[in-house]
Amino acid sequence: MKAFFDARQLGHAPNIYFRRGAAMPHQEQPRRAELLRDMLIAENFSISAPRDHGLAPIKAVHDPDYVDFLPTAHARFVADAGPDALAIPTAHPGRRRGKEPKDIHGQMGWWMTDTSTPLTEGSWDAAYWSAQTAIEGAEEILSGARAAYALCRPPGHHAMRDGANGFCFFNNACIAAHHLTRKFRKVALIDVDVHTGNGSLDILYERGDIFFCSLHPDPRTYPTFYLGHADETGEGEGEGASMNILLEKGASESDVLAALDRGLSAIRDFGAEALVVSLGFDMAADDPLAAVAVYPEGFAEMARRLAAMKLPTVLVQEGGYLGPSLSDNARAFLTTFREAIR
C-alpha cells in the first residue's frame, strides 16, 4: 500500500484560533503530519509525492469562485490589515442572502464560515497539495491498486462546497470520492473522525452515486454543530444515501466498533464498488479534542473491519492531534490495514 505526501503541506502554520470565546494555541499544527510521515518511514511504507492534477478535480467538488478566492486571500488581507493581524473573517453574511463583496474582509466572511481556519502565508500551497495528495491516492486506485493512504494536511472533511470550516479548506475525501466515479459506478465515503463530516454531508447530500456515512457525537451538543443529525439522510437523487450514526460522549471502543459495523452494513447494502475513508485519529481517548475512548488496538480492529470490505480503498487523513498516542494509533491502524489486504 503506497502512501502519498508533499512537504508543501507543512506550510500552513496557524498559531491561534478561537474556541468558546477564547484565543488558544491552534490544534492543527504541521507537527501532526511530520509525526505521521516519520511513522510511515519507520514502518517501511513507500511514500511518494503527488503529481499536480491541477484545479479541475477540486473545482469539480467546490464552488469555482471559492477556489479562485484562496490563492491570493492571505496576501490581500495582510496588505489591508497588516502583518500582525490574524487572517480570519470578522464579518459574515448570515445564511447567504446577498452577493459576494469585493472587499477582502467581506470576502473572508463570505467564503470562510468560522474563525478556526486562519490563513497564513503558506496556507494556499498546503491546501492545494493536500488536495493533490488525495487525488493521487484516488489515481492509485484507478490504476488498479487495492489501497492507498493519502497523508492529507490540512484536513478536509469540514470544508463545505463553498467555504472553509473547522481547520479545513478543501474537502479532500469528497474530491477523492468524486475522482473515483470516473471508474466506479457507486462509491462510499465513511467518516471515522470523531467530528461530524459536515462538509462532506453538505457536498454529497443530493448525490446518489456516493454514499456517505459519518460516526460522531450528537451535533446538538458537540462541534461542529448544525449538521450530522440522524434524520439527515439525503435529498433528491441522494435520498437515502447519507447516514449519520450518533455516538454518546465518552463512547467506548465497543460502542464505536458497533457503530462502524452499522455503517459498513449500509455500505454493503448500497452496493459500493470503491471506498474512501475519512480517517481521524481524534477518536483516541487521549486526543486533545477527545470525545470518545478508542485505543491503539481499537484502531487496529477498525482497520481489520474496513479491510474486510474487500473494496478498493483510499484512506484520507483527517484529524488526530498532538496527543501522546497519535503515532501509536496511526501505526496500529495503517500497519494492520496493510497486512489485512495482503
Give CA angle at 10 (65, 42), nearest 5°: 135
Q: Is 229 a catalytic residue?
A: no
Distance CA 248, CA 250 (A): 6
The owner of cell 470544508 is 159
Beta strands in the chain (DSSP E): 2-4, 16-19, 22-25, 47-48, 147-150, 187-191, 210-217, 242-247, 274-279, 313-317
- Residue 90 contacts residue 142 (beta carbons within 8 Å): no
- Among candidate residues 74, 158, 179, 195, the one labeled active-site is 158
DSSP 288-311: TT--S-B-HHHHHHHHHHHHTT--
Q: How many residues in total does the chain contain?
A: 342
Q: What share of the chain is helix, strand, coil (3-state, %, to 5)?
A: 40, 15, 45
Q: Name every residue whose Cβ is closer than 8 Å to that of residue 92 and which is 6 or more positions away in sequence.
A: 109, 113
- Residues classed as catalytic: 158
